[in-house]
Amino acid sequence: MPPRRKGIGSQKQARFERLKIEILTFVGANPGCSAQSIVANLSHDRAMRNHGLTPRKVGFFIPRHLAQYLVWWQDHTAGRRVYGEAGCSEVPKKH
């Protein structure tokens, strides 16, 4: 397997910034949404099909790059993480 290339081009940076903005916009409009609903919106409704988004990728992306804006909590009825804005009143306090 060839070594992984590190992309530093402007297109990669533009995709990264657009993904951040789109996730923040969607979660801001739909607090309590799951990674699966974020991917469905971005891949099908927003036509970000070339990004190869999966719920797992979004689940790793949010804590790494959007932790200062978004928080997650466990939805015990469905058994998955749901996301909301950091200052949102619907977000329960972590103990």
Q: What is the pLDDT of residues 36-60, one digit of tens each?
A: 999 999 888 877 776 788 999 999 9
Please report the pLDDT score of residue 3 as a whole number. Answer: 73
CATH 1.10.10 fits 12-85, yes or no: yes
For a pLDDT cut of 90, what percent of the chain falls above it? 41
Terminal Cα-to-Cα distance of the chain (whole angstroms): 45
Which helix (H) or strand (E) element contains residue 11?
helix 10-29
Is residue 61 within 8 Å of 24, Cβ to Cβ?
no
Please report the pLDDT score of residue 43 as a whole number. Answer: 86
What residues does each domain of the chain span? 12-85
